[in-house]
Amino acid sequence: MKPPHHEDDLFDFAEDDQTALQDADREAWRILVVDDDQDVHEATRFALKNQRILGKNLDIYSAYTGHDAQTMLQQSEQFACILLDVVMETPDAGLKLVSHIREELREDTTRIILRTGQPGYAPESEVIEKYDINDYKSKDELTRSRLITTLTSSIRSYQQIKTIKANKEGLAMIINGAPTLFRERAIGTFAKGVLLQLCSLLQIEKNGFLCCCEDIHHEIKVLAAYGQYKSMSGSILNSSEHPDIVHEIKQVIQSQQRFIGENYVILHMRSPHSDNLIVKVDTHKNLSETDLHLLSLFSVSISVGFDNARLFERMENLAYIDPLTRLPNRTGYLYELTQHINQQTPFYLVLADIDNFQAINDGLGYQVGNNTLIAIAKHLPSLLGDDTLTGRISADTFCVMIPDSNRDYVHDKLMKLELSLSESFNIDGYEIPLSLTMGLVHFPEHGSEAETLLQNASIALKHAKKTNRAGFSEFGHEYEQQLQHRLHMAAELRHCVERNELKLMFQAQICLSTMNIIGAEALVRWHHQGRTVPPNDFISTAESSGYIVPMGYWILEEACKQQVNWLAQTGEEIVVAVNVSVRQLKDPHFIQRMDEILLTTGINTSSLEVEITESMMMEDSDGLTAILHQIRQRGVHVALDDFGTGYSSLSYLQKLPISHLKIDRSFINKITGNKEDRAITALMVRMGELLNMKVIAEGVESPEQQQELIRLGCHEAQGYLYSKPLLTEDFIDLLHQINGQELS
């Protein structure tokens, strides 16, 4: 058994064995003879005929002047050694050539031996020190044996310098890969550095590849490749295309041992996180024991280094990649989009939102919801083109960059996408109807930065949701102006309560059996800068900005005060109805604030009614139902507004603590002329009776509508037939006018 290697063995290898290895980069050492004497060339060729140095032949090239030599050096491959005459066309032509080689060509690997027929021409030590030359001899000193010895020494130096430089190149690639490890190419850069360093250590040409096989996927992916394997870089190896290579790799993985073939070696490394790394390089030589020992040390080092690189790559995936769809997330997409913007090539950007996606999650579960997202992630590029850039920007919103500036072409693509969604998707056995609402922007017309483009696409998307649901809307600068207007309005709304700019108006609610006023809906008006702002203009802004919460408390308190005043003035127990938004109900202090208002105003709780919309209840049914129960426990009525526009079923209504159903005006408008709407209204009245709820019709404007409602058995009505919204003083007058005979 051989004794274990001592550290000194490595130094012996570097000094002796290493220089004796073949340099597979060259079939022969290239030697350049530069001399103006033809006899010197012939004598040199004769002396070196059939001579091998360090296992390789010599190729002799000739130049007769310094100028000829410069031309050869610029046009030819690198020379291992140059035998150079000092005095040629000029006394210092040789030294000038050395200066040209070292300073202008920056060639510091080629070794130079100066030869002169005038030994005393220049001090030997000065020339060697200044010009980085290996030796300085007079021509009569260089006998055949001395010439061979000098050449051997110089070629060994050349080989060692090349080895050092090759090692440096490999190490530099690994080190330089560190700052870019947060990008996906970090693993590839690391793998290239590994191959370069390995080939330089073994002094073989770059002809091999490094691949990785993760246990969880069982795929063999080539991370870097050189030489005859270069075309395999980045590919997944399969048995049909590379049967022999795949078979060898699987054998190495199974045995977890390196395999040494006649002209190649396959190394196996296992990273701390269980990635199988395989390196195959063509050696074209037999490996020594020292080679194998170095390969073992090299393998351990590389497996740990690869694991670090893989860790950074996975960290990058968390930062830039959506784990569900494997598409870029918002951060990653903005980065990729910026790269396209830097190319200054026009494109369209589509922001697509899945309509009613929450219903899929709530109704069928998150797994079906996730698979739906994956299906859409695959469907978008399949319809819009593989050259698109697709990303998942938020929960159910995708972004697609279409590299085309033709508006008609892109519009046609989006319409085909809409058409493709008309058929249901089969997700986990469920037939799921899907539609997308999309916002469209153009670069550079609608923005020159990624964030701006995404923001404007979002504005277009919101516009499409309001005006073209399940369709698309292209960004227009008027949308931006509307947004600025809403932002300005939101800023003004912040101070509307403290500036006393809000006023309440009341619309009468009539009992259809007595034709008396039994209630009133409180409607807010905003008087700002000398004009009255319509509710449709500011309520949605108040909702989106959150200012609806303090505004809502003011409305609730003022309505309660007015009801108490009416009772004091008229003795009439009129019920006041107040609209409450989902933002108000979700305010954690809502019940507490309501209790304070009920207490401070002294209102009879049975004279207060809270109105919520049917669509609100679909947003967070369980959470809002719990709050409504607390409201009912205080004796306050709850009315379901806009009934008929949502998706309420009889069983669903039965679970809600509702006392009133308000039929939406869209049905009342057609009740006298449309059999279907009349039938639906009759059904809603019947549902109210079955659930023991009062039914009130909104938007009654004609006696014919009133008569039809009475015939259907509707309990109450509200609309311009009876009264438009009135200020409190005018409402009291109306109350006296209609209920006058019963007022005290």
Distances (CA, A) of 327 to 21, 65, 184, 190, 373: 50, 64, 14, 24, 11
Which of these, 1, 490, 63, lies nearest to 289 by C-alpha position?
1
Is 151 a residue whose pLDDT tops 60? yes
Kindly state whether residues 213 and 351 are assigned to the same domain.
no
314 and 338 within one domain: no
| Spatial separation of the C-alpha atoms in residues 206 and 282, rounded to whole Å | 8
Which tens digit of pLDDT belongs to each residue from 651-689? 667 778 889 999 888 888 888 887 887 888 898 899 888
Q: How far is CA 607 from CA 318, 322, 642, 691, in A?
A: 56, 53, 21, 21
Domain final residue pick, 279, 297, 320: 320
Least Cα distance to 695 among 708, 707, 686 occurs for 686
The answer to whether residue 274 sits within a structural domain is yes
- 162 is written with which tokens? 């090349």
- Position 488 in a domain: no
Residues 588, 699 share a domain: yes
Tokens encoding 669? 């408008």
DSSP alpha helix (H) spans, 443-534: 450-467, 477-493
Residues 541 and 689 in one domain: yes
The answer as to whether 174 is a domain residue is no
Nearest residue to 508 via CA among 651, 716, 218, 296: 716
Distance, CA of 664 to CA of 741 (rounded, Å): 32
Total domains in the fold of the chain: 4
- pLDDT classification of 69: cutoffs 50, 70, 90: very high
Residues 625, 645: one domain?
yes
CATH number at residue 206: 3.30.450.40
Same domain membership, residue 251 and residue 146: no
Q: Are residues 129 and 71 in the same domain?
A: yes
Same domain (yes/no): 671, 691: yes
In CATH, what number is assigned to the domain containing residue 550? 3.20.20.450
Range of 98's domain?
12-161
Q: Among residues 299, 320, 341, which one ends one of the domains?
A: 320
- Is residue 271 very low, low, confident or very high in pLDDT (cuts 50, 70, 90)? confident
CA nearest to 85, candidates 129, 38, 16 = 38
CA distances from 462 to 396, 468, 469, 483 (A): 14, 10, 10, 10
Q: Do both 298 and 365 map to the same domain?
A: no
**Position 188 confidence tier, pLDDT thresholds 50, 70, 90:** confident
Residue 305 lies in a domain: yes
Query: Can you give the pLDDT at residue 19?
Result: 35
Alpha carbon distance 569, 732 (integer Å): 9
**Per residue in 213-234, pLDDT tens?**
865 457 888 888 888 898 888 8
Residue 482 lies in a domain: no
Task: Verify that 315 and 338 share a domain, yes or no.
Answer: no
Among the three residues 95, 127, 161, which one is the final residue of a domain in this structure?
A: 161
Residues 212, 126, single domain; the answer is: no
> Is 297 found in the same domain as 437?
no
DSSP state letters, 357-381: HHHHHHHH-HHHHHHHHHHHHHHHH
CATH value at residue 334:
3.30.70.270
Its pTM stands at 0.45
In this structure, what CATH number is given to the domain that contains residue 146? 3.40.50.2300
Q: Which pair of tokens denotes residue 226?
A: 């050189």
